[in-house]
Amino acid sequence: YTVDVTASDLSGKTVKSSFVFVKDTALPAVTLSNISSDGTTNLIETTPKVYGTLSDAHAGLALASAVFLKNESGTFTEKKNYTFPASELSGKTSYNFTMDLVSLVGSDTLSDGQWKIRFTLSDGAGNSGTSESAAFMVDRNNPTVTISNVVDMTDESVVDQYVSKGVSYRAEGTAQDNGGLKEVRIQLLKDNKTVQLDGSDYKLGTLDAGGNWTCEIGAPFTESGVYNLVVTAVDLAGRTREEKLNL
């Protein structure tokens, strides 16, 4: 904005002076380039990073800090705080940053699961505000999976891993992942060739809240020989772990 002031005396002489000022009531902003606003982002790197930009169009940036929050039983809990170097921000209208989450949060604290970042920013005009990122998933580790039992439909366990032709079976086990499981796949191989389970190359196990899976594999053992029961756990980040049992 510009204010012009003109003074005139009785003889008609005039003098003019101008004063320019900026009205700045806008809050500084943060933009994250690799965190989607719809909450679907999965950071699957061993050392995940968050990239973004702090900006303030007029007075320039002054101070900025971040709080890292972890979803624990439905409540986002503060885990670590970080303050951006003021000397790098001061007066800048734009500041690009890279957050190495392992370095800033700590390898032990940065457990798999859902996270958010809460930013607090202020500019040179005294405007300040707080905003939170959308939730994002951190998944640095593969899931775990076990095969605990193979039983017939009368719940009798197989003995010494021997199965019989014409008998229907159910496989059981456990699967866990701190970031959440997508599915457990059950596949049967013989001589490195896929044996169909109910007309498909694999079946999906049924998971309960306690991390136990079960799958009715039917009666696929039509020939003598060694069969390989292959169970693959897939987590929400697409990481996998495989367990095998010979029958």
For residue 16, the model assigns a pLDDT of 92
What is the total residue count of the chain?
A: 247
**pLDDT at position 190 over 90:** yes
Cα 34–chain centre separation = 11
What b/e readout covers 88-101, taking b as 16+ CB neighbours within 10 angstroms?
ebeeeeebebebeb
Mean of pLDDT values over 14-40: 92
Could you report the per-residue pLDDT of 78-137, keeping only the tens digit for each? 999 999 999 999 999 999 999 999 999 999 999 988 999 999 999 999 999 999 999 999
Q: Minimal CA–CA distance to 176: which of 213, 133, 202, 140?
A: 213
Distance CA 112, CA 136 (A): 11
Distance CA 245, CA 204 (A): 17
**pLDDT at position 179 over 80:** no
Distance CA 140, CA 116 (A): 16
For residue 239, the model assigns a pLDDT of 87
What does pTM read for this prediction? 0.69
**pLDDT at position 25 over 90:** no
Whole-number percent of the chain with pLDDT over 90: 86
Q: How many CB atoms lie within 10 A of CB 131?
A: 13
